[in-house]
Structure 1
Amino acid sequence: MLDEELFWNASIEDLSRGYLYDAESEQYICLICKQSYEDGVIYQRESVLLEAKKAIAYHIEDAHTSMFDYLLDMDKKYTGLSEHQKELLQFFKRGLTDKEIVKETGGGSTSTIRNHRFKFKEKEKQAKVFLTIMNVLKNEKEKDNSELINFHKGAKMVDERYAITVEEREKVLKTYFKEGLEGPLDSFPSKEKRKIIILQHIIKRFELNKKYTEKDINTILKSIFHDFATIRRYLIEYGFMDRSKDCTEYWIKN
């Protein structure tokens, strides 16, 4: 499952490779599934032994085909690309000429394809300028507590409840986790926005790509709050977790 924070905080270079290097843990980490390879450890792929950096490169290829394909397959709200534009980019990646693309698509003209190439170059320039503007803005300011936090991908009916700033989150967490962020929850809020903040923090106690039984879920939640059933229900209701139809398995929702 995609780790939202890891993925969206990655640099363009890391996104292009599909992984980043975490100096603290000395691990190469996949940005898509969070599979990690420890630096200094030798990994086997079929009959070949690989260093961690090479191993994760092959992991991207084996598990996700390529970052080009993965990124291109993302929803339009992330790429800004139409299905036709995605198809053209696939042709460009294959190195087809304008004439060959016209033949593949069965319509249009070479001048139309050339025009698309030009528009993509212009789009690239605009994206580069915008990224630079945002980078300058980020570097010139101190931590901005008015910045909105990212919400989870499974969020349902996204509205003003999810317009949560860093400052709001920190204030709410401090109020409801009086013994510290790793401690128990003092009380469960009634206001929707506060619920989301609390649930977003609680879900961090669970691991990605792991299946939990209801008993496992209850055990973890009991250490956080006495009314664990309510927390469990809201984690499902707000799209933080999902479960099987017979309620025997639970997992963090992508």
Structure 2
Amino acid sequence: MVISDRFWEAPLEDLKKGYLEEKEQFVCLLCGNQVEKGIIYPQDNTLYEAEKFMNLHIQREHGSVFDYLIGLNKKLTGLTDHQNRLLRLFYEGKNDNEIKQVMEVGSTSTIRNHRFVLKEKERQAKMLLTLMELLKEKDEHAPSLIPPHQTATMVDDRYNVTKEEQEKMLKKYFIEGSKSLKTFPAKEKQKLVVLREISTLFHPKETYAEKDVNEVLKSVYYDFVTLRRYMIEYGFLDRKPDGSAYWLKK
């Protein structure tokens, strides 16, 4: 199961914690980092058991689960930029008067109205979540769709791909038994599936020089420049402005 599958399928309580407990380990839902049970982990002259060490990992690497989630693409959160900013200020513990000053709005009643709208959005989300859970028990014909990757720069109908369709696309474009492309697809949906597969060649904890990225991509396809551009455009890779360092986007 890929990291994004764990993320999207995790129960709400696990999402709030930011990690999932499995039989032998704890798995970070935000980046896939794994902490084995039964081991004591040293950090800054302190010893941590596995679950506490996972909490420390989330704090050090992601700030908090809230920080990570609020930073996701608006297509994933469903929040406007204005709502995103408000939630950040609420989370910081600011009162309505302080928020009014920060956002330079007319009165605190405006902030209260925003709180009401967000609460209404929460109620609607709970209703939809319940309906969708009930639907799973009855809808035998619902296709198994591939969830969007967490760092997607845009989410639209390109992500409307079933697992069966994905397998067919991978067989069509990759040489059997390898990660080398026969050709690079022109259609956006197929392009997305191919790029997602290529992203598995990069380690989430590594930082790469441009020449190293090029070497990885050359092993996939001769036009590595095009691959590199699309890997960034689709949110699989990120880089420094001067192109001196690349990494798998988390």
- Do the structures match in fold with TM over 0.5? yes
How far residue 16 of structure 1 moved from its aligned partner, in angstroms, is: 0.6
- Structure 1: unaligned runs, 5 residues or longer: none
**Residue identity matched to 2:25:** Q
Q: For 1:69 and 1:222, how far apart are their aligned partners in 2?
A: 36
Say whether residues 1:229 and 2:222 are aligned partners.
yes
Match of residue 169 from structure 2: 172
**Residue 142 to residue 44, structure 1, CA distance change in 2 (3 Å):** farther
1:234: how far off? 2.9
Name the residue aligned to 2:48: 50
Alpha-carbon separation, structure 2, partners of 1:241 and 1:164: 21
Structure 2 residue identity aligned to 1:86? L
After superposition, the Cα gap between the structure-2 partners of 1:15 and 1:188, relative to the gap in structure 1 and judged at 3 Å, is same
Partner Cα distance (1:85, 1:136) in 2: 32
- Give the fraction of aligned pairs with identical amino acids, expressed as a percent: 39
User: How do residues 1-254 of structure 1 correspond to structure 2 at under 5 angstroms?
Assistant: 4-23=4-23, 26-77=24-75, 78-80=77-79, 82-83=83-84, 85-86=86-87, 89-90=90-91, 94=93, 101-102=96-97, 105=100, 108-109=107-108, 117-142=115-140, 144-145=142-143, 147=145, 149-150=147-148, 153=151, 163-177=160-174, 179-180=176-177, 183-185=178-180, 187-193=182-188, 194-213=190-209, 216-217=212-213, 220-221=216-217, 225=220, 228-230=221-223, 232-238=224-230, 239=232, 240-242=236-238, 249-254=245-250
What is the CA distance between 1:104 and its match in structure 2? Answer: 6.2
Task: Tell me, yes or no, if the aligned pair for 2:239 and 2:247 is still in contact at 8 Å.
Answer: yes
Higher Cα radius of gyration: 1
Q: CA deviation at 1:210?
A: 1.1
Flag the 1:50–1:132 CA change in 2: closer, same or farther, 3 A.
same
CA spacing shift, 1:8–1:215, aligned 2, 3 Å: same
**TM-score after normalising by structure 1:** 0.70
Deviates more, 1:55-64 or 1:126-135: 55-64
CA distance in structure 1 between the partners assigned to 2:172 and 2:127 by the alignment:
41
Q: Report Cα offsets for 1:116-156 as digits up to 9, x if no partner.
A: 55544433222111111122233444584473652573557
SS of 1:13 mapped into structure 2? helix
Describe the shift of the 1:199–1:49 C-alpha distance in structure 2 as closer, same or farther (beyond 3 A): same
Native 8 Å contact 1:149 1:166 kept in 2: no
The question of whether the paired residues in 2 share the 8 Å contact of 1:148 and 1:164 is answered with yes
Asked whether the 8 Å contact 2:8–2:147 carries over to 1, the reply is: no
Distance between the aligned counterparts of 2:98 and 2:172, measured in 1?
A: 64
**Structure 2 counterpart of 1:175, one-letter code:** K
RMSD: 3.7
Instruction: Answer whether contact 1:188 1:195 (CA < 8 A) is retained.
Output: no
- 1:28 Cα deviation from its structure 2 partner: 1.4
Which letter maps to 1:33? C
Q: Unaligned regions of 5+ residues in structure 2, if any?
A: none
Change (3 A) 1:186 1:143: farther
TM-score by structure 2 length?
0.71
For the structure 1 residues 117 and 166, does the alpha-carbon distance in structure 2 shift closer, same or farther, using more than 3 Å as the test? same
* Count of residue correspondences: 236
Tell me how far 1:206 sits from its aligned partner.
Answer: 2.0
1: CA distance, partners of 2:132 / 2:126: 10
How far apart are residue 67 of structure 1 and its match? 2.1
Q: Is the 8 A contact 1:154 1:253 kept in 2?
A: no
Distance in 1, Cα, partners of 2:52 & 2:216: 37
- Offset from partner CA, 1:192-227 (integer Å, 9 cap, x none): 34333222212212211312356655665566x5xx
1:17: how far off? 0.5
AA aligned to 2:68 is: Y
